């Protein structure tokens, strides 16, 4: 078996344990919590919404409109007015009644730009008359169980409510209903209430390390937040796919630790602006369009408002040497129908060779050897091959953690997956239980994506020939 030579990657969780007893020598009342809130408070916004519901009129047996006011919280991620919140905060709201109130009391109407229902995140924007303060960015890669955290939000409509608690569990999976589930959440006992959704979970440095998303109904002080490193991955994707109209072709990954925040280039799309500009694997992007770059979300944010043909200077580090590259963005390629075509191709493969049926019971996917034409496309990404995902079983680990039919599986745990023998080796490995949750890498639409499969190895489903 060869170790997976794929995208390096990391999503864990972060925060900092500091006793509230430590105070400022100048002002004994100014605790670390007070200083953290002071640093972050201007970057928290209160969101007010209005939805229309319908109820039956018993007299005339017709439907009547009823206006319902909602509330939520958001985090400023760009001084031009870009804000991240939860999808469920803005889903189905009246677009003309979506309002944002800043810490100084000023109010603006907001526009919904993009959303990811499965990850429960959305981007909205206000046209502010002034440059806004961006939330200090932390990392969720070094979270400590028991460390102090702070939640700020529009709790029950009480704007900018501050609560304090600890990290009470790491990497919690929560199933809300048949349509919504979350993986890898931060659990906290800081009071999270209706209206806190979309707001920040802070560490004692005043940095956002999570986005508050849910509470446990009927419980006391059990709340959950999306790790900020995971959220930033989604933010980058939303900006790249649904907001910007230009194309760069850089394929990269983020490295996040307590002391390092870097965007590292893995490869370029063929004939893309990035390829023409000369980006190479291992380049660390430092600055783009005069924006400091800490991760892919920063990079995509730096390109907002940039037009096709505009030339930008990108500062990088290559082999410990600083240098600049000039990139000219192009029009975004039209990939419309790519996923539909993949599904049509899958439907035509009923009689194709299916590899290692045990993968169906353990992971919930069926695999087939990769056609030579598709295998050739992977060489530019430094993969020797992969396995095509034919089908996904409902409610399986593959289904829950984002693998789709048509994906190319290029790695599991630390090994590449180029044949059925590779899958069999992993499934029969004596230390399989220690790999759980198991990291996976898939190639989809020209990008390498990753995630973690949480497996129930003590209760495998019986094999089914479907």
Catalytic residue, chosen from 43, 115, 140, 197, is: 197
**248 annotated active-site:** no
Token pair listed for 3 = 């170790």
Closest by Cα among 42, 40, 45 to 206: 40
* Alpha carbon distances (Å) from 466 to 394, 407, 462: 12, 19, 12
HSE-up of 450 (CA within 13 Å, CB side)? 19
Pairwise CA distance, residues 198 & 152, whole Å: 10
Pairwise CA distance, residues 369 & 358, whole Å: 16
Pairwise CA distance, residues 410 & 134, whole Å: 37
Catalytic residue, chosen from 43, 48, 78, 88, is: 88
Catalytic residue, chosen from 43, 78, 120, 422, is: 120
Question: Which residues have C-beta within 8 Å of that of residue 344, sequence separation ≥ 6?
Answer: none
Pairwise CA distance, residues 63 & 362, whole Å: 48
Pairwise CA distance, residues 100 & 83, whole Å: 10
Contact 120, 85 (CB under 8 A): no
**295 annotated active-site:** no
**43 annotated active-site:** no
Pairwise CA distance, residues 388 & 365, whole Å: 10
Contact 246, 252 (CB under 8 A): no
Residues catalogued as catalytic: 88, 120, 197
């Amino acid at each position: 078996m060869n170790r997976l030579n794929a995208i390096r990657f990391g999503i864990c969780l972060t925060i900092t344990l500091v006793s509230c007893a430590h105070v400022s020598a100048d002002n004994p009342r100014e605790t670390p919590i007070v200083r953290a809130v002071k640093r972050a408070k201007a970057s928290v916004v209160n969101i007010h919404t209005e939805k229309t519901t319908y109820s039956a009129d018993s007299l005339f047996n017709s439907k009547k409109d009823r206006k319902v006011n909602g509330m939520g919280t958001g985090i400023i991620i760009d001084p031009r007015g870009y804000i991240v919140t939860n999808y469920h905060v803005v889903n189905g709201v009246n677009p003309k009644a979506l309002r944002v109130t800043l810490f100084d009391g000023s109010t603006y109407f907001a526009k919904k730009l993009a959303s990811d229902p499965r990850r429960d995140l959305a981007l909205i924007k206000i046209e502010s008359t002034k440059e806004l303060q961006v939330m200090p960015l932390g990392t969720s890669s070094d979270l400590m169980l028991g460390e102090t955290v702070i939640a700020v939000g529009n709790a029950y409509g009480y704007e900018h409510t501050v609560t304090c608690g600890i990290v009470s569990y790491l990497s919690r999976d929560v199933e809300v209903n048949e349509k919504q589930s979350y993986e890898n959440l931060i659990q906290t006992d800081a009071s999270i209430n209706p209206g806190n959704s979309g707001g920040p979970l802070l560490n004692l440095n005043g940095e956002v390390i999570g986005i508050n998303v849910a509470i446990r109904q009927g419980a006391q002080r059990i709340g959950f937040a999306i790790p900020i490193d995971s959220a930033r991955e989604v933010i980058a994707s939303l900006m790249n796919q649904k907001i910007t109209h230009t194309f760069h072709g850089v394929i990269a990954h983020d490295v996040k630790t307590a002391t390092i925040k870097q965007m590292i280039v893995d490869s370029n799309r063929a004939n893309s602006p990035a390829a023409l500009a000369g980006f190479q694997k291992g380049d660390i992007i430092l600055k783009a369009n005069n924006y400091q770059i800490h991760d892919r979300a920063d990079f995509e944010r730096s390109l907002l408002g940039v037009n096709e043909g505009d030339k930008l200077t990108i500062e990088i580090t290559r082999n410990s040497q600083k240098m600049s590259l000039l990139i000219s963005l192009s029009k975004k390629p039209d990939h419309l129908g790519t996923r539909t075509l993949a599904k049509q191709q899958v439907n035509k493969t009923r009689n194709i060779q299916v590899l290692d049926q045990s993968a169906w019971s353990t992971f919930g996917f069926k695999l087939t050897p990769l056609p030579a034409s598709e295998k050739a496309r992977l060489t530019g990404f430094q993969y020797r091959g992969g396995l095509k995902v034919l089908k996904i079983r409902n409610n399986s680990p593959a289904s829950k953690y984002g693998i789709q039919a048509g994906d190319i599986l290029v790695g599991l745990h630390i090994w590449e997956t180029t044949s059925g023998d590779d899958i069999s080796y992993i499934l029969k490995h004596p230390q399989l239980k220690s790999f759980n949750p198991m990291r996976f890498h898939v190639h989809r639409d020209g990008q390498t994506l990753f995630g973690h499969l949480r497996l129930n190895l003590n209760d495998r489903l019986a094999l089914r020939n479907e």
